[in-house]
Structure 1
């Protein structure tokens, strides 16, 4: 299907797919301002509250390998609608949770369903468009998706200002139901029956092994995962970074998230404008160079001060997010283009590698180093360097 054959206007499609990609990050970032209140009511310390993120991400990662192939077999639309319905029910469970164990169980159920918007949405983009047009649409979706981590903690802070933490999950219920209705009314099926694959577990496992063992997939997926990991480390550490290191309160998460996600949105806009004018490979190299400058500035700043202060403490994250947004659409489309008949599976496996990385960051690395601005800066810089090394490896192999 091409742009001219698409039954839905591309701007409307971008808004819908962006919204679908947002509800996953919303379920992470909206609750950050509520951590102190939730911990006090549920009898959980900071480390225990951090598990509300890692449990969600682990569940997200486990089922990310299912969403894509399922959409290859039964269609994109059905999978998205089913995932939204499950997510809404899981959010109801979180809102009514009487203790931490129950909350973690329903957080896991949220994670099991949250990947449908982002993972299947990527396959929808590649179903509809090719080449530079696909890059432009991917960039538009990234711009909308990038707004979520910026406004989610602000919304959470507002809600905490006039209500209790369960109201955040009732907000997620309303948001997911609104997306369900919009998907039902607006999104056509972009993967027709004649293009679908029969879902056979043995063949699916064989296909997954083949994709995972493909050296090019490994290089591209690793470059994307480590590149984003530099930013996700700060997102996962946001409660400690904002409340303890920057010494702000629960309603001031925007001082961290707005500049950071502003950089991501601007980078996604530049990526879309550059489509067809600058080669994808060159754009990725520029993105990594920008992130490297951000990493060096971040380490230097943390070495030079005794206490972090605005705006200098958040400027490196803004610059790093800009670089990441230049890189992300190119690497994602490169992975999808490797498997034109298995785009759902390819998207799932790319998401799986990133989610496993993010879960480890949130569950292990972030609690260990989030009390130190310098350690966060050094670790983020190392993530950027490793991501660039994998991209450099891919560039050398593709030229040779």
Structure 2
């Protein structure tokens, strides 16, 4: 198997030459990206205890998710441009260490306002790993290799939402809600060390933007006003939003609808993550033999089947296992099948500004997730039918944006994977 199809010789020393080295690199990047769902999902089982200890109501507890996502979004627009200017590795290591410090602040919080403030600080630095890891994959690989490795990374990443609430429940039984944040702090320090020792620098000095405010701001402006970039960034965000609606509504689904306890979140998250792993595996396996448009549309179709099944089931029966978790499972496999293709096409639009483009995607994704967690979920999670209808609407919107992209770039429908020379940008004004 080829390790890379990137013609840029500057990357030659950074790309692992063995299969073991490649898998180690993909595994490291995937573990780094897991910090996002871990930070969100580990505290779900502790909501009731935190509310009791710090005097927070249900709305305030839900803001532990949304305020984190809002600060994550605000900072995400900076991480990518900084990595374009300074290199991928130093920005990632610095972000992870600062994230660990913010997790300590969360553990030491003595009131709900202080915990919300600490969560906001945590969100400022949590995005560095996720944003830059995806960029590193496309720095080092192209064509089917890039899609395959992005899919493999997504498979490992997909484990986090399943095990995070389970780990949170265990930690809550073993220690306290503060113990969850102490573990996240240690996790951040360990990841920073692994990145410092094991990650090659994939963005050589000759390819970097000047370390000055003007060029960085100009790069941001170019990407945030580029219609194709915004179109695919929105498609990727909406593709995930339907699934995230179920994830952010997990306390209501597990406790209120299914009548289970704080240590039973696995009944929802394990099927979701198993489906995401299957979808990611299929996306990688089919990278060289299936047109990208076909993969994406099959993914959207599976997501819509899940939403339709949920509506049909709720029309004839009350929430119950295993049927209530079937819809999010279909959404998981559909999202994972489509996401690597959409993300790689997005990173192809501006090859020399991949970090910035990744930041734009992360910003749009996180802002939408914050809206879903803080506004949409509290109003729709009372009804599994309404929840499914909203999730399906997100998928339909994503499908519409993707079909617009294919209409403007007809070659996408016929190609099996991207393989674009890095010498020029490929954006259009369409």
Counterpart residue number, 2:327: 316
Mapped to 2, the partners of 1:300 and 1:198 lie a distance apart of 56
Q: 177, 181, 186: which one pairs with 2:189?
A: 177
Query: Aligned pair 1:55/2:67, yes or no?
Result: yes
Counterpart residue number, 2:199: 187
Counterpart residue number, 2:116: 104
> Deviation at 1:212?
2.5
Gaps of 5+ in 2: 6-11, 412-430
> Deviation at 1:285?
1.1
Counterpart residue number, 2:286: 274
Q: 391, 400, 403: which one pairs with 1:389?
A: 400
Mapped to 2, the partners of 1:166 and 1:205 lie a distance apart of 39
Mapped to 1, the partners of 2:204 and 2:215 lie a distance apart of 21
Mapped to 1, the partners of 2:44 and 2:404 lie a distance apart of 37
Mapped to 1, the partners of 2:14 and 2:196 lie a distance apart of 17
Q: What TM-score, normalized to structure 1?
A: 0.97
Counterpart residue number, 2:174: 162
> Deviation at 1:329?
0.4
SS in 2 for 1:314: helix
Counterpart residue number, 2:341: 330
Q: 361, 376, 379: which one pairs with 1:350?
A: 361
| Two-structure CA RMSD over aligned residues (Å) | 1.4
Mapped to 2, the partners of 1:202 and 1:280 lie a distance apart of 37
Which string of whole-angstrom CA distances, capped at 9 and with x for unpartnered residues, describes residues 136-174 of structure 1? 110011001111001000001111122211011111112
> Deviation at 1:189?
1.1
Mapped to 2, the partners of 1:119 and 1:309 lie a distance apart of 37
Mapped to 1, the partners of 2:15 and 2:394 lie a distance apart of 41
Counterpart residue number, 2:377: 366
Checking the alignment, whether the CA contact within 8 Å between 1:302 and 1:377 is kept in structure 2 is no
Query: Aligned pair 1:32/2:44, yes or no?
Result: yes
Mapped to 2, the partners of 1:233 and 1:128 lie a distance apart of 33
Mapped to 2, the partners of 1:6 and 1:200 lie a distance apart of 26
> Deviation at 1:43?
0.4
Mapped to 2, the partners of 1:7 and 1:320 lie a distance apart of 34
Mapped to 1, the partners of 2:299 and 2:244 lie a distance apart of 16
Which string of whole-angstrom CA distances, capped at 9 and with x for unpartnered residues, describes residues 262-320 of structure 1? 10011001101111111212111111111111111111112222x21010000111111
Q: What TM-score, normalized to structure 2?
A: 0.90
Counterpart residue number, 2:141: 129
Mapped to 2, the partners of 1:233 and 1:90 lie a distance apart of 26
Q: 214, 238, 241: which one pairs with 1:226?
A: 238
> Deviation at 1:111?
0.4
Q: More deviation in 285-294 or 199-208?
A: 199-208
Mapped to 1, the partners of 2:193 and 2:221 lie a distance apart of 36
Mapped to 2, the partners of 1:73 and 1:212 lie a distance apart of 18
Checking the alignment, whether the CA contact within 8 Å between 2:300 and 2:338 is kept in structure 1 is yes
Mapped to 2, the partners of 1:182 and 1:366 lie a distance apart of 36
Q: 59, 73, 86: which one pairs with 2:98?
A: 86
Mapped to 2, the partners of 1:191 and 1:28 lie a distance apart of 30
Q: 192, 195, 208: which one pairs with 2:220?
A: 208
Mapped to 1, the partners of 2:342 and 2:220 lie a distance apart of 19
Checking the alignment, whether the CA contact within 8 Å between 2:85 and 2:210 is kept in structure 1 is yes
SS in 2 for 1:303: helix
Change beyond 3 A, Cα 1:295–1:241:
same
SS in 1 for 2:351: coil
Counterpart residue number, 1:149: 161
Mapped to 1, the partners of 2:100 and 2:36 lie a distance apart of 12
Counterpart residue number, 2:427: none
Which string of whole-angstrom CA distances, capped at 9 and with x for unpartnered residues, describes residues 330-387 of structure 1? 1111111111110000000011111111111111111111122111111111111111
Paired residues, what number? 399
SS in 2 for 1:342: helix
Gaps of 5+ in 1: none
Checking the alignment, whether the CA contact within 8 Å between 1:22 and 1:145 is kept in structure 2 is yes
